[in-house]
Structure 1
Amino acid sequence: MWVLIIHGLITALVVVSFLCGQWPVFEGTPIERIHRFLTFGAYDYFLRFVGFVCGEKGTNAILSVEYFCCDRPNPILQIIYLAIIGGTYYFIAKSCFSYIPGYYLSGIHRYTSLLGVGVGILLFLLTSFTDAGTVNAENVSQYLSAYPYDNIIFTDKECSTCKIPKPARSKHCGICGRCVARFDHHCGWMNNCIGERNTRYFLAFLLWHFLLCLYGTIAIGLVLAGRLKELRVVYILTVYYGIENSFYSLAPHVVQWLLGSYNTQILLMVFLAIVSLLLAGFFGYHANLCRTNTTTNETFKWQDYINWRRKLNEARASAAALKSSISGMSSESKLPESKWKAFFRRSPLEDAEVVVKNNVYDKGMFHNIWEVIYPLSTRRSFSQRKSKST
């Protein structure tokens, strides 16, 4: 039991570090350091090892594979997703369907599980193949009018690649080679950008797969509980083996019996539980962004802007304090300051102006959510918008 718990904790730590280690909440933690090693350090050591063994040709071959996998659109992660969801469903059907209907589950779960997987794949296809909101010469004027500049993190400029004006909240994706309206991020699993027109499908994908994994975890747990009930395991342990009828006495023996008889089902249940927790975190993060009408790209822009303004304000406050100190030292009439007063005197940095986030696109929770569900470019009024410069 302890081996299974330790294995699950290590697996969860590695998966969370790999997928979420770059989040601001994990800054300065071991999770961030593990993420950096998994995403950069391990690959750098591997590249050096290949170069040492195979020379420059081997290094160039690895770099070519990296360019194809990371810098160009490719279906590798899409295929992996289909393999994961198809393989997981196959093993669940093979190991659990023979016990359905059971003591706690009716036969209808054979069909609802298939329906759930089908809806998940449909949302995956919608997110992957729906236009994320490509900005081109034909619609750029409408996007410029729909998303005005805030002159803070978005200013009037031209895309150096597409050679068209760059609407606020848009970004040129170097992987897809296009400007995307209300750009959130490029998702390798979807082989597509997440932008104005498909954010709703992406959110639905995350929510549905979280519920699907949670459903699978609970269903397998009920299958195992049903087997315990049908085979009267607790009765046998207490009556024939004389084990005390209490949770702490029975739990080790029940877990040992389950691991020996249904190890495949337990591994599937642990896997689905871990994935459901990760998906819940992803969905919660993106749902909060939608609630405040912010994107992942804008989150990093705001972070950089606030850090820059804070440093600028601190530098100004320090310069003003230094100037005041120098002028005070040159004044002969000033009495020497008490050491106690100097000790309790406020630092000049405390007087620096506080930098706050001023998101002009946040128009209230319900309006923000409705904008994600019903994007501006899909509305009739969008085609009637004219750029202010026209």
Structure 2
Amino acid sequence: MAVQWILICHVLLTALVVISFLCGQWPIFRGTFIERIHYFITFGAYDYFLRFVGVICGSRGTDAILCVEDYCCNRPNPIMQFIYLGILGGTYYVIVKSSFDYIPSYYLSEIHRYMSVLAVGVGILLFLLTSFSDPGTVKAENVSQYISAYPYDDIIYSEKECSTCDIPKPARSKHCSICDRCVARFDHHCGWMNNCIGERNTRYFMAFLLWHFLLCIYGVVALGLLLAGRLKELKVIYILTGKMNSPFSLDSNFVSAVYYGIENSFSSLAPYVAQWLLGSYNTQVLLMVFLIIVALLLAGFFGYHANLCLTNTTTNETFKWQDYLSWQKKLNEAKASEAALKASISGLSPDKKAPEGKWKSFFRRSPLEHVDTVVKNNKYDKGYFHNICEIIFPYSSRPSFSRTKLKKR
């Protein structure tokens, strides 16, 4: 019975941490313990740790921690890559040790022993491609081609020079402070890959996310079929419903005589079947829970980036649009304040205007609607088909790219 409670606590605690970490800043959680947990995970815990080290080891200890932080967060390093390989390798090792003895089973053929190796191998290959491929480094030799491929929109991108690289800065590019290079169609720097995600390797990154999502689903389904096969092979349902003469044909972890004669209905059988599975195959059940949680996280991340790819937008550009909208909002507020001041001054004159009605004011067009229109009419969004082609076949990989020359303005 202790195993069941451990599993329940594990699921609830994992769900609480994941929801708090990913969604703690949402308005719906404002002022709740979810927001406080999010703050503690993202900032508070590290701040308390620094204070603790400062009290125990003094300033030298704090400086050492800050040096480690600088190395881990502000410089290229393979730490997250090793963590990824450890998670993937460790999970697959546990699956092999705990489950391969039952393959082939009633619902799984022996081919899944080799298919699983192939599936994990493809995942590692996509990881290596994303990690070590060129994300689209902008150099003096190709900067003119990138400027022609990505024209300035004169809204969030305008002509300027990279102060670090001393070359013109193409639209949609950004200088990565971690990798110390300009990257075309920069999306973000991925710590898991120890590489930037940009114009040339977004396709590998998307394939990596999709494949690992499918890999988790494959693991869940395979383990589910394996457990279903054990139920079938050991005739658990027949024993529980009293349809067998020998109630002791199960393994020693399950005393079937206690449950002999249970009604043949899902609501009656489910608790006992679940108890048997948790008692006899708790490792497989925990693996399924872990894979489901990872699959949900990967699905959300892939969905977010897929939407960006379909609209030909990058993560970096979403922040730029937010900055632009914020600037427009402040500008409009300043204009509104100026207009109100003029109205109050002109109110002293006899020819003042009649006050605007409440309903007319309510339905009046928002001054920021034209900004929303600009965002929706993204200059680089040329339709789903073209946007997907741009991801799969980047401009710099096309033969026409090397022949393109910058047009003089």
The normalised TM-score by structure 2 is 0.88
1:306 aligns to 2:309 (yes or no): no
Q: Name the SS of the counterpart of 2:75 in structure 1.
A: coil
One-letter amino acid matched to 1:216: G
Q: 2:354 & 2:193 partners in 1: Cα distance?
A: 69
Bigger shift: residues 162-171 or 347-356:
347-356
Q: Deviations over 1:47-69 (max 9, x none)?
A: 11111111001001101111111
- What residue ranges of structure 2 are gaps of 5+ in the alignment? 243-256
Q: Deviations over 1:228-275 (max 9, x none)?
A: 111111222221522222222221111111111111111111111110
Q: Cα distance, 1:138 vs. partner?
A: 1.2
Alignment of 1:9-158 (within 5 A): 9-18=12-21, 20-21=22-23, 28=30, 34-158=37-161
Q: Name the SS of the counterpart of 2:167 in structure 1.
A: coil
Q: Deviations over 1:51-89 (max 9, x none)?
A: 111100100110111111111101111111111111111
- Contact kept? 2:131, 2:195, Cα under 8 Å: yes
Q: Match of 2:280?
A: 261
Q: 1:27 & 1:169 partners in 2: Cα distance?
A: 34
Aligned with 1:246 (options 265, 268, 274): 265
Q: Match of 1:330?
A: 348
Q: Cα distance, 1:151 vs. partner?
A: 0.8
State the Cα RMSD in Å: 2.5
Alpha-carbon distance change, 348 to 116 in structure 1, aligned in 2, over 3 angstroms:
closer
Q: Cα distance, 1:34 vs. partner?
A: 3.7
Q: Name the SS of the counterpart of 2:238 in structure 1.
A: helix
Q: 1:111 & 1:135 partners in 2: Cα distance?
A: 42
Q: Match of 1:286?
A: 305
One-letter amino acid matched to 1:133: G
Alpha-carbon distance change, 267 to 97 in structure 1, aligned in 2, over 3 angstroms:
same
One-letter amino acid matched to 1:120: G
One-letter amino acid matched to 2:133: T
Q: 2:389 & 2:354 partners in 1: Cα distance?
A: 64
Q: 2:350 & 2:100 partners in 1: Cα distance?
A: 92
- What residue ranges of structure 1 are gaps of 5+ in the alignment? none
Q: 1:66 & 1:346 partners in 2: Cα distance?
A: 52
Q: Name the SS of the counterpart of 1:193 in structure 2.
A: strand
One-letter amino acid matched to 2:68: V
Q: Name the SS of the counterpart of 2:361 in structure 1.
A: coil
1:228 aligns to 2:247 (yes or no): no
1:361 aligns to 2:364 (yes or no): no
Q: 1:90 & 1:169 partners in 2: Cα distance?
A: 42
Aligned with 1:202 (options 201, 205, 214): 205
Q: Name the SS of the counterpart of 1:179 in structure 2.
A: strand
Q: Cα distance, 1:310 vs. partner?
A: 2.4
- Contact kept? 1:167, 1:181, Cα under 8 Å: yes
Q: Cα distance, 1:321 vs. partner?
A: 3.7
One-letter amino acid matched to 1:254: V
Q: Deviations over 1:21-62 (max 9, x none)?
A: 488898858666544431222111111111111100100110
Q: Cα distance, 1:304 vs. partner?
A: 1.5
Q: Name the SS of the counterpart of 1:134 in structure 2.
A: coil
- Contact kept? 1:317, 1:352, Cα under 8 Å: no
Alpha-carbon distance change, 136 to 27 in structure 1, aligned in 2, over 3 angstroms:
farther
Bigger shift: residues 344-353 or 135-144:
344-353
Q: Match of 1:315?
A: 334
Q: 1:147 & 1:22 partners in 2: Cα distance?
A: 36
Q: Cα distance, 1:5 vs. partner?
A: 3.6
1:211 aligns to 2:214 (yes or no): yes
- Contact kept? 1:21, 1:34, Cα under 8 Å: no
Tell me the matched-pair count: 385
Q: Name the SS of the counterpart of 2:196 in structure 1.
A: strand
Q: Cα distance, 1:143 vs. partner?
A: 0.9
One-letter amino acid matched to 2:303: G
Q: Cα distance, 1:330 vs. partner?
A: 1.1
Q: 1:336 & 1:164 partners in 2: Cα distance?
A: 56
Once superposed, which parts of structure 1, at least 4 consecutive aligned residues long, lie more than 4 Å away? 21-33, 333-337, 341-345, 347-351
Q: Percent identity?
A: 71
Alpha-carbon distance change, 278 to 335 in structure 1, aligned in 2, over 3 angstroms:
closer
Q: Match of 1:187?
A: 190
Q: Cα distance, 1:342 vs. partner?
A: 6.5
Q: Deviations over 1:201-226 (max 9, x none)?
A: 00000000000000000100111111
Bigger shift: residues 349-358 or 42-51:
349-358
Q: 1:17 & 1:194 partners in 2: Cα distance?
A: 26
- Contact kept? 1:317, 1:349, Cα under 8 Å: no
Q: Name the SS of the counterpart of 1:383 in structure 2.
A: helix
- Contact kept? 2:25, 2:38, Cα under 8 Å: no
Q: Cα distance, 1:335 vs. partner?
A: 10
Q: 2:59 & 2:67 partners in 1: Cα distance?
A: 12
1:377 aligns to 2:380 (yes or no): no
Alpha-carbon distance change, 117 to 335 in structure 1, aligned in 2, over 3 angstroms:
closer
Alpha-carbon distance change, 343 to 291 in structure 1, aligned in 2, over 3 angstroms:
closer
